[in-house]
Amino acid sequence: MAVGKSPRRKDAVAKVTGRARYTDDLSMPGMLYAKYVRSPIAHGRVLHIDTQKAQSLYGVEAVFTFEDVPDKRFATAGHPYSLDSKHTDIADRRLLTGHVRYQGDEVAIVVARDRLTAEAAVELVQVKYEEYPVAVNAQTALKADTPPIHEGGNVIGSHRFEVGGMLEKAFEEADEIVESHYQTGVVQHCHIENHSTYAYMDDMEHIVVVSSTQIPHICRRIVGEALDIPWGRVRVVKPYIGGGFGNKQDVILEPMAAFLCMKLGGVPVKIELPREECFISTRTRHSTRSNIRAGTTKDGVLKGLDIEIFSNTGAYASHGHAIMGAAGSKSCNLYPRSVIKLKATTHYANIPTAGAMRAYGSPQVIFGIECLMEEAARAINMDSLDFRIKNVARQGDINPLKEKEILSCGMVECLENGRELIGWDAKKKAYKNQTGHLRRGLGVACFSYGSGTYPACVEIAGARLILNQDGSVHLQIGATEIGQGSDTAFCQMAAETLGVSFDNIHVVSTQDTDVSPFDTGAYASRQTYVVAPAVKQAAQELKAKILAYTALMTGQVPESLDLIAGNVVFANRPDKVVLPLDKVAMDTYYHKERGGQLTADVSYKTRTNSPSFGCTFVDLEVDIPLCKVFIKEIFNVHDSGVIIHPQMAAGQVHGGLAMGIGMALYEELLIDENSGYIYNNNLLDYKMPTCMDIPDLGCAFVETREPTGGYGNKSLGEPPNITPAPAIRNAVWDATGVKIDEIPMTPKTLYRHFAKAGLI
Amino acid sequence: MFAIERYNKAQNVKEAVNLLAADPDAKIIAGGTDVLIRLHGGSKEYRNLVDINGLAELKEISEEAGGAVRIGSMATFSEIMDSDIVNRCVPVIAEAVSTVGGPQLRNTATMGGNICNGAVSADSAGALLVLQADLEIQGIGGEREVPVVGFHQGPGRVSLKQGDVLTAFRIKPENYKGFGASYYKYAMRDAMDIATIGCAAAARLDGDKIDELRLAFTVAAPKPIRCEHAEKTAAGKPLSEKTLEAISDIVQKDVKPRSSWRAAQEFRLHLIRTLTQRVVRQAIERAGGKF
């Protein structure tokens, strides 16, 4: 049995020895390098652009400006294509633009024989701008007299629902209504590998794009759309990837690389962003401002939640229109017995474009909700953990928005488990009535998340298995390994169902849209959930073929046979080997009269989406005069159904916790309110926490068995980073008595609040 | 890839001096942790480089017969942190340089570079200021020795002429013997960061009184500074909370922090007061004092 064990990752040794090749490691003879000419202002129009000097620099092959690119707008969000014309992504971007909408917008691009020449040529491109008023936040972007950033105005989408009853009535039944305003900042993914892509042609009609992408098949479609060429002429190849976290669930460089390559006669052209450019012109997490109200009875029944939220998508739509709808709806699985009303507005602004980032809006929405749950509990003098236990989802509850039953739910068990791990009850008593410079506090927050995007989007996954001559099996999947470990998990699943050892399953880690099965890629914590049925079915089919073939070889009845640990055995006498699999395999390939290569190829559409659950518990110390938070203990407890690979699952949790701590206490892209200027687009000034800042990270799992999961499993990739921020905020409140309703709670933020509260 | 135009690797200090003197645009590359970052950022001021890596005479850390500690300008932060002499005689230097960047950076960055680039935030500057280190410099006119106090002229500016090469730091015995010293770097994170405020203190006691206090700050003014008013206030005072408060009250006269997007002036002043108390207390405790 392979599921539930922690075999060594398929890519572990290749990665730590440096043998794994990433896009930037790949090069071709004659490869050219392209570099964007970026706008130094956040909003305006190009009046005049002169490329002559750049073009005459030795080593420059070409310069293209916004006047040279097709007048074609395309959407970049990495969503599956939608047959419903009302559900398509917003096409608001051209390859280059004369109307610049953020500091860093792309007005021209230089192609040169090497990077340094390209950099030098960029400086020689002379551009004159007419400046427009800049709007960086909701207050200015949504004012009536603010000039629109795109035709059609600055609001790009709104989502509304009211479910579980009427909010007004629910609040009438409440004894206490609490309300607060929350703010979350712009943070970025900071994947280790920056965006990198190159394109080449080795015939007259097909263009090959090699890219660090989470979504090769979607990328193929978008390159086709952007360049107006049939999708079948585009081939996208995804090598090893150094992380994405959603920033590569967007098509950013690929259409441009393909465009340049085609313009230049098919020569290879590479675009790779340095970190500084990656910060400003890929994607970020939406910053939000929300106003949330909650009504509770005196004995702690949460009657209703009223969420109004503005999310800032920046200069271009990307995923903006979809994120708040997706994030808002997930609260309904967390508190399914309460009335929930959501009013979300997403708007443009003159800041870097926000897109998908780990947990797709949920950390922002849940930050507000879980801060307010703390407030509601305190308003009725109830322990906030008990308050949550009383109101969170239980198995059998009906999600009032989706009107679907929650089939597996370990939310209460997660909270009870966390209570023990952190020593909640004893510490709550010990931390009462503290004075002095150093004070301890406890915090908790919980979440629910989805396992994919259904029914908003199609959920399609593909798996192909091939029996090799030596009895090993090759697994090809359309789903992408981006560091999260999916290749390994799929091999475990195949091994489990097929009856071949994990070591004898080889996985093709590279996706190539010309040969890989179709799958929309790594996002929405979907892959283990939606790929499992495809792998399982393919494994069942291949196994049936192997047994049938063995029957043919041996004269046995197929039903009397089984495949266990790489041997065909008698089903009722598993210790008795009929034929080892390699013998069967050799016969399928080389027998002159019978057989043929045994394969199974499955494309599967998942039509369920099970919620996963979990929570963060934190015990921390605040040094009030230093305005610093020191985390003493932190635990995430998850219900992600059956855990496929406990060690990798813990890795996901550790990474998500660290990312959540970054968002809570350290990270923010700082943008000037008046000019849209970006101050800290580098890893020195953008304070992503280091290993010195992150405490020991604890995790635990409550393993439910999800009936719709191929192996009882549910989502885990994104969920770990949803709740650290509200848990930490609640603990800072617990320690200091100061309620901070904004993140990040950097020392500068804490100073402002502590000074206002008279603590320093 | 870096846009380097001219590169010379000096075989000895004299050659470095001559190479630098011959080219007004030439700059020294030591550990490279600043120069290469500037080149990466597109700076055109660092395209002609004179490399002084590999000059063994600049890496030595030694203790002279008279007790003076000599640290070669090209000793890396890691070498300084690992040096028995430094840890025995002037541990505050090891404490300070251990806060710079991360391990990879400390393996190549040098204390000479940290001082000569004139960074307002240089972590080694605070420690060297309270130890009143002297700088040995070779130039066109020969060798000279100047005190670190007064060496910094402003942001990115120090008292060096084209052709000068800092060869070593020298700390006289009377400047460290009998002193307890401490450095605290306040930054937004605990590694890979530059100081929001850096504070160093060295204290010598006379019984239960402060005989001499030396207090230095980085990022609290346009250059690393010593705090004259605070030091005078401390002299002769008993070891008490009241003394610490008096020092941290008066220190505002010595500093001139500025507001920037990195931190507001008011916040920096708060940190300066807070750190004055904490760091002076620790220096005194390390000198054997008790509160």
Q: Are residues B85 and B127 in the same domain?
A: yes
Alpha helices in chain B (DSSP H): 13-22, 35-40, 77-82, 84-89, 91-97, 103-106, 111-116, 123-130, 228-234, 241-250, 265-286
CA distance A131 to chain B (A): 23
**Residue A75 confidence (pLDDT):** 97
B271 contacts on A by Cβ (under 8 Å): 626
Q: Is A116 on the interface with B (CB under 8 A)?
A: yes
Q: Shortest CB distance from A748 goes to which of B3, B194, B263?
A: B263
Q: Are residues B11 and B82 in the same domain?
A: no
Q: Is A114 on the interface with B (CB under 8 A)?
A: yes
**Each residue's pLDDT tens digit, B181-217:** 999 999 999 999 999 999 999 999 999 999 999 999 9
3-state secondary structure of A102: coil
Beta-bridge partners for A713: A641
Alpha helices in A212-291 (DSSP H): 216-227, 254-263, 275-281
Q: What are the C-alpha distances in Å from A418 to residues A322, A428, A445, A731? A: 33, 14, 11, 15
CA A717/CA A705 separation, integer angstroms: 18
Q: Output helix, strand, coil percentages for chain A, rounded to the nearest 5.
A: 30, 25, 40
Does residue A566 carry a pLDDT above 80? yes
Angle (CA) A95-A99-A105 rounded to 5° is 60
User: Which amino acid is present at B78?
Assistant: S
CA A651/CA A657 separation, integer angstroms: 10
Q: Is A194 on the interface with B (CB under 8 A)?
A: no
**Each residue's pLDDT tens digit, A276-333:** 999 999 999 999 999 999 999 999 999 999 999 999 999 999 998 899 999 999 989 9
Q: Are residues B125 and B210 in the same domain?
A: no
Q: Count Cα neighbours of A509 within 13 Å in the Cβ-side half-sphere.
A: 22
CA A106/CA B6 separation, integer angstroms: 33
End-to-end CA distance of chain B: 55
**Residue A31 confidence (pLDDT):** 98
**Range list of β-strands (E), A353-484:** 398-399, 404-405, 438-449, 460-467, 473-477
CA A637/CA A633 separation, integer angstroms: 13
Nearest CA to A67 out of A38, A105, A35, A99 is that of: A99
Does residue A199 carry a pLDDT above 90? yes
**Residue B1 confidence (pLDDT):** 84
* Residue A51: DSSP 8-state: -
Q: How confident is the model at residue A157 (pLDDT cuts 50, 70, 90)?
A: confident
**Residue B279 confidence (pLDDT):** 98
Instruction: Name the helix (H) or strand (E) containing A333.
Output: helix A320-334
Q: Are residues B164 and B203 in the same domain?
A: no
Nearest CA to A410 out of A396, A400, A424 is that of: A396
CA distance A225 to chain B (A): 35
Q: Are residues B166 and B115 in the same domain?
A: yes
Q: Are residues B22 and B126 in the same domain?
A: no
Q: What are the C-alpha distances in Å from A143 to residues A137, A147, A148, A155, A702? A: 10, 9, 10, 11, 48
Q: Shortest CB distance from B267 goes to which of A274, A685, A748?
A: A748
Q: Is A144 on the interface with B (CB under 8 A)?
A: no
Q: Are residues B117 and B163 in the same domain?
A: yes
Q: Are residues B119 and B204 in the same domain?
A: no
CA A7/CA A701 separation, integer angstroms: 19
Q: Looking at the domain assignment, is residue B187 inside a domain?
A: no
Q: Is A746 on the interface with B (CB under 8 A)?
A: yes
Q: Looking at the domain assignment, is residue B182 inside a domain?
A: no
Could you tell me if residue A396 is left (phi over 0), alpha (psi between -120 and 50 degrees) or otherwise beta?
A: left
Q: The domain that contains B93 carries what CATH number?
A: 3.30.465.10
Instruction: Name the helix (H) or strand (E) containing A55.
Output: helix A52-56
Instruction: Name the helix (H) or strand (E) containing A193.
Output: none
A626 contacts on B by Cβ (under 8 Å): 186, 271, 274
**Each residue's pLDDT tens digit, A72-116:** 999 999 999 999 988 889 999 999 999 999 999 999 999 999 999
**Each residue's pLDDT tens digit, A622-681:** 999 999 999 999 999 999 999 999 999 999 999 999 999 999 999 999 999 999 999 999
Q: Are residues B97 and B12 in the same domain?
A: no
Q: How confident is the model at residue A691 (pLDDT cuts 50, 70, 90)?
A: very high
Burial class (CB in 10 A: 0-12, 13-18, 19+), A196: buried
How high is the mean pLDDT of chain A? 97
Q: Looking at the domain assignment, is residue B111 inside a domain?
A: yes
Chain mean position to CA B77: 11
Q: Looking at the domain assignment, is residue B265 inside a domain?
A: yes
CA distance B263 to chain A (A): 7
Residue B220 belongs to domain spanning: 193-286
Q: The domain that contains B282 carries what CATH number?
A: 3.30.390.50
- B194, A666: Cβ pair inside 8 Å? no
Instruction: Name the helix (H) or strand (E) containing A84.
Output: none
Q: Shortest CB distance from B267 goes to which of A679, A690, A751?
A: A751
Q: Are residues B69 and B170 in the same domain?
A: yes
Q: Looking at the domain assignment, is residue B186 inside a domain?
A: no
**What is the reported pTM?**
0.97
Does residue A239 carry a pLDDT above 80? yes
Q: Looking at the domain assignment, is residue B291 inside a domain?
A: no
- A116, B1: Cβ pair inside 8 Å? yes
Does residue A753 carry a pLDDT above 90? yes
**Residue A44 confidence (pLDDT):** 98
Q: Are A78 and A251 in contact (CB under 8 A)?
A: yes
This complex has an ipTM of 0.96
Does residue A536 carry a pLDDT above 90? yes
Test mutation, A275, A693, A694, A754, chain B, max B CBs within 10 A: A693
CA B272/CA A165 separation, integer angstroms: 55
Q: Shortest CB distance from B261 goes to which of A627, A670, A687?
A: A670
CA distance B56 to chain A (A): 31
* DSSP class per residue in A493-562: HHHHHHT--GGGEEEE-SEETTTSPP---S-TT-HHHHHHHHHHHHHHHHHHHHHHHHHHHH---GGGEE
Q: Shortest CB distance from B274 goes to which of A625, A689, A755?
A: A625
Q: Looking at the domain assignment, is residue B170 inside a domain?
A: yes
Torsion angles phi and psi, residue B178, rounded to 5: 90, -5
Q: Shortest CB distance from B189 goes to which of A666, A670, A751?
A: A666
**Each residue's pLDDT tens digit, B117-168:** 999 999 999 999 999 999 999 999 999 999 999 999 999 999 999 999 999 9
**Residue B26 confidence (pLDDT):** 97
**Residue A1 confidence (pLDDT):** 76
Q: Are residues B66 and B170 in the same domain?
A: yes
Rg of chain A's alpha carbons, rounded to an integer? 27
3-state secondary structure of A319: coil
Residues A374-379, mean pLDDT to the nearest whole number: 98
3-state secondary structure of A640: coil
CA B244/CA B281 separation, integer angstroms: 7
**Residue B79 confidence (pLDDT):** 98
Residues A372-390, mean pLDDT to the nearest whole number: 98
Q: For chain A, what percent of residues have pLDDT higher than 90?
A: 98
Q: For tokens 């009427």, name the residue.
A: A166
Q: Count Cα neighbours of B97 within 13 Å in the Cβ-side half-sphere.
A: 29
Q: For tokens 């043919």, name the residue.
A: A552
CA B120/CA B155 separation, integer angstroms: 6
Q: Which residue of A has its CA nearest to B271?
A: A626
Q: What are the C-alpha distances in Å from B180 to residues B124, B176, B281, B287, B289? A: 17, 8, 10, 4, 9
CA A475/CA A486 separation, integer angstroms: 12
Q: For chain B, what percent of residues have pLDDT higher than 90?
A: 99
Q: Are residues B13 and B33 in the same domain?
A: yes
Name the token pair of A678. 């970006």
**Residue A662 confidence (pLDDT):** 98
Burial class (CB in 10 A: 0-12, 13-18, 19+), B206: exposed
- A684, B194: Cβ pair inside 8 Å? yes
- A116, B267: Cβ pair inside 8 Å? no
Test mutation, A748, A749, A752, A753, chain B, max B CBs within 10 A: A748
Please state whether beta strands B6-9 and B48-51 pair in parallel, antiparallel, or not at all (unpaired): parallel
Q: Looking at the domain assignment, is residue B34 inside a domain?
A: yes
**Residue A77 confidence (pLDDT):** 96
Question: What's the structural domain count of chain B?
Answer: 3
Residues A472-478, mean pLDDT to the nearest whole number: 98
CA A285/CA A184 separation, integer angstroms: 10
CA B48/CA B21 separation, integer angstroms: 12
Q: Please, what are the domains in chain A?
A: 31-132 (3.90.1170.50), 287-454+608-756 (3.30.365.10), 455-605 (3.30.365.10)
Q: Are A31 and A111 in contact (CB under 8 A)?
A: no
Does residue A48 carry a pLDDT above 90? yes
Nearest CA to A537 out of A620, A463, A466, A599 is that of: A463
Alpha helices in A173-253 (DSSP H): 216-227
**Residue A69 confidence (pLDDT):** 97
Please state whether beta strands A505-508 and A438-449 pair in parallel, antiparallel, or not at all (unpaired): unpaired
Does residue A492 carry a pLDDT above 80? yes
CA A614/CA A626 separation, integer angstroms: 32
Name the token pair of B165. 């090469």
Angle (CA) A616-A622-A625 rounded to 5° is 155
CA distance B143 to chain A (A): 37
* Residue A434: DSSP 8-state: -
Residues B60-82, mean pLDDT to the nearest whole number: 98
Does residue A37 carry a pLDDT above 80? yes
**Residue A222 confidence (pLDDT):** 98
Angle (CA) A57-A61-A65 rounded to 5° is 90
